[in-house]
Amino acid sequence: MPAVDFNTEPSRYKHWRIEFDGDVANLVMDVDPAGGLSADYELKLNSYDLAVDIELADAVQRLRFEHPEVRVVVIKSGKDNVFCAGANIRMLGKATHGHKVNFCKFTNETRLAIEDACENSKQSYLAAVTGACAGGGYELALAADHIMLVDDRRSAVSLPETALLAVLPGTGGLTRVTDKRKVRRDLADVFCSVEEGVRGKKAVDWRLVDETVAKSRWDEAVKARAAEIAARSDRPKDAKGVKLTPLARNISGDLISYPHVKVEIERARGLATISVRGPAAAVPASIAAAHQLGDQFWPLAVARELENAVLHLRFNEPKIGLIVLRTEGEAKAVLDHDAFLAKHQNDWLMREIRHYLKRVLKRIDVTAKSFVALVEPGTCFAGTLAELLFAADRALMLIGQRDGDNRPPAAIMLGEANFGFYPMGNGLTRLATRFLGEPASVARAQKKIDASLEGKEAIELGLVTFAYEAFDWADAVRIMLEERISYSPDALTGMEANLRFAGPETMETKIFGRLTAWQNWIFQRPNSVGEEGALKRYGSGIQPNFDRERI
């Protein structure tokens, strides 16, 4: 399969179009059957593969940044009789285990981005369901704040995966049904077995959709509902959007460079180093100047590049299991930018940038690779970039300076960004999660905001895992990386998925922790992926042959 590219823009979309109508945008799904990632399957009936979801993710992102005037996004189908048939089954049947898992993860992140827009940007999604809305199609609708279903005696929502494919509605489906829609568990159980789906009043009674509307009143009712939701939004009416221009990325062998992010791959070691550069310029003189910078404003630029780098490594470098995180630049410059974001937190664009950085950091939290942060002289793990330390599985710090290096000693700086800008999926900040057993340590760290914290103090405050004197540094880092590389990739994935999320669980952590883990298990079982399994035999006319053992 060719490298997966996450860069796109509306003029290149094959599967979606956006129709603007004042403060409402209609996001129309009209999948090109021949436009999938691979020619091995056809994307019939608005079924989707990763190519479709990459465009959706791009659209969701651009609607927030480029269209501050949009208050409601109506997800519609561009096809007759079908809203969306879900993830393409041929694709699932042919995909490797790794691709299936990565595909589901990315798709889950896209759904959560939709919910993040509703919750945090007052850009609400309304699913206007006409026709069959099955499996991943209904999971897409579930991500919306409000689900309308036309009452035409045909249109229905369904989750037929268990019955038809021997897999789960795993793009958040089961979790959203029980925890977001709060469907009664036995009705959810029944719903998952009704292949033809549930429609009309029963769909409302079972809490599967919010309302049904007769076909004759449909267009008008959708418009009215969208207008009503739009009226509740606080998005600015006359603001100018910020264009997300193509990323300046250069891939040259094992080096991937962006203006602020660099990825160096050491293939033999299965390791990549991501280096993030702090701001080169001072903060803008005014909020207007920040808007003028648009996507070149450092926090936004770095978020885009870091996100792209992480996704690239996930999909295109599966054998790179260990990521070293570095930063370079002036800590003070990072904190200044954080302060600017905080000062202008009521500005719609600054709000978008913060939530975007939050989502990018969350992508690291759920990436199935080990992350190790290295704090050395010249690094700028401060404020927003210090979150990388707390997202990492381990952070190692050099105490003081190296011989012959006259840069200031390695230091960390905390800022207000570390105390609330970027909650994890569990709803807590990374520091609160880190210090679950010693909450006083959060307050203690907070008192050190803006202080330059060198190795010994950082250890004492619990901010890094280990600190080493310069003469021990190289060996300690080398041994630690070698050890990590020697472990089973699967055991690390499972271990990290558990250790990274202490404390409360939310719908989001349940999706990634519980539902995803079960789906990954099922995605390996012969009953779904074996030669006689349901995914392989789907559509062949031959019933799957199941091993009846319950495990």
> Per the structure block, which two tokens stand in for 516?
């995803």
Nearer to its own copies, 19 or 189 (CB): 189
Report, in Å, the least distance between residue 238 CB and its own copies.
39
Report, in Å, the least distance between residue 484 CB and its own copies.
8
CA–CA gap between residue 272 and residue 275 (Å, rounded)? 10
CA–CA gap between residue 191 and residue 155 (Å, rounded)? 15
Stretch of 31-39, 46-54, 281-289, 497-505 lying at the interface with its own copies (CB under 8 A):
497-505
Nearer to its own copies, 196 or 438 (CB): 438
Amino acid at 323: I
Report, in Å, the least distance between residue 443 CB and its own copies.
16
> In this chain, which of 522, 536, 537, 538 binds its own copies, going by CB under 8 A?
522
Q: Write the DSSP string, 143-172.
A: HSSEEEEEESSS-EEE--IIIIISS--TTT
- Residue 20 in the binding site for its own copies (CB under 8 A): no
CA–CA gap between residue 258 and residue 301 (Å, rounded)? 10
- Residue 499 in the binding site for its own copies (CB under 8 A): yes
Q: CA 11, 311, 62: angle at the middle one, nearest 5?
A: 35
Q: Are the CB atoms for 187 and 159 separated by under 8 Å?
A: no
Q: Are the CB atoms for 466 and 396 separated by under 8 Å?
A: yes
> In this chain, which of 151, 161, 307, 352 binds its own copies, going by CB under 8 A?
161
Q: Are the CB atoms for 372 and 434 separated by under 8 Å?
A: no
Strands annotated E in 288-404: 322-328, 370-375, 394-399
Nearer to its own copies, 99 or 402 (CB): 99
Nearer to its own copies, 33 or 494 (CB): 494
Q: Are the CB atoms for 158 and 198 separated by under 8 Å?
A: yes
Sequence-distant (6+) residues with CB within 8 A of 122 are 71, 232, 233, 234, 235
> In this chain, which of 69, 149, 497, 537 binds its own copies, going by CB under 8 A?
497
Amino acid at 326: R
- Residue 524 in the binding site for its own copies (CB under 8 A): yes
CA–CA gap between residue 505 and residue 508 (Å, rounded)? 8
Nearer to its own copies, 338 or 496 (CB): 496
Report, in Å, the least distance between residue 221 CB and its own copies.
24
91 to 130: interface string for its own copies, x by CB under 8 A: ------xx--xx----------------------------
Report, in Å, the least distance between residue 74 CB and its own copies.
25
Nearer to its own copies, 121 or 158 (CB): 158
Of residues 348-367, those binding its own copies (CB under 8 A): none
- Residue 525 in the binding site for its own copies (CB under 8 A): yes
Calculate the CA dihedral of residues 377, 379, 383, 386 and round it to 10 degrees: -90
Q: Is 200 helix (H, G, I), strand (E, B) or coil?
A: helix
- Residue 459 in the binding site for its own copies (CB under 8 A): no
CA–CA gap between residue 185 and residue 205 (Å, rounded)? 14
> Per the structure block, which two tokens stand in for 280?
């080169």
- Residue 256 in the binding site for its own copies (CB under 8 A): no
Q: Is 395 helix (H, G, I), strand (E, B) or coil?
A: strand
CA–CA gap between residue 127 and residue 124 (Å, rounded)? 10
Q: CA 257, 262, 264: angle at the middle one, nearest 5?
A: 100
Of residues 379-398, those binding its own copies (CB under 8 A): 392-395
Rg (CA), the chain: 24
Calculate the CA dihedral of residues 511, 514, 516, 517 and round it to 10 degrees: 160
Of residues 399-438, those binding its own copies (CB under 8 A): 433-438
386-405 b/e with 16+ CB inside 10 Å = b?
Answer: bbbbbbbbebbbbbbbbeee
Report, in Å, the least distance between residue 370 CB and its own copies.
8
- Residue 319 in the binding site for its own copies (CB under 8 A): yes
Stretch of 27-35, 145-153, 162-170, 325-333 lying at the interface with its own copies (CB under 8 A):
162-170
Between the alpha carbon of residue 9 and those of residues 43, 116, 474, the distances in Å are 20, 21, 44
Nearer to its own copies, 41 or 538 (CB): 538
Nearer to its own copies, 355 or 434 (CB): 434
Report, in Å, the least distance between residue 534 CB and its own copies.
6
- Residue 46 in the binding site for its own copies (CB under 8 A): no
> In this chain, which of 519, 536, 537, 538 binds its own copies, going by CB under 8 A?
519
- Residue 487 in the binding site for its own copies (CB under 8 A): yes
Stretch of 35-43, 49-57, 63-71, 159-167 lying at the interface with its own copies (CB under 8 A):
159-167
Amino acid at 502: A
Of residues 171-200, those binding its own copies (CB under 8 A): 174-175, 177-179, 181-190, 192-193
Nearer to its own copies, 150 or 166 (CB): 166
Of residues 201-220, those binding its own copies (CB under 8 A): 207
Q: Which residue, chain included where needed, has tokens 């905001």?
A: 449
Nearer to its own copies, 39 or 499 (CB): 499
Stretch of 50-58, 71-79, 216-224, 314-322 lying at the interface with its own copies (CB under 8 A):
314-322
Nearer to its own copies, 61 or 426 (CB): 426
- Residue 223 in the binding site for its own copies (CB under 8 A): no
- The DSSP call for residue 321 is -
- Residue 80 in the binding site for its own copies (CB under 8 A): no
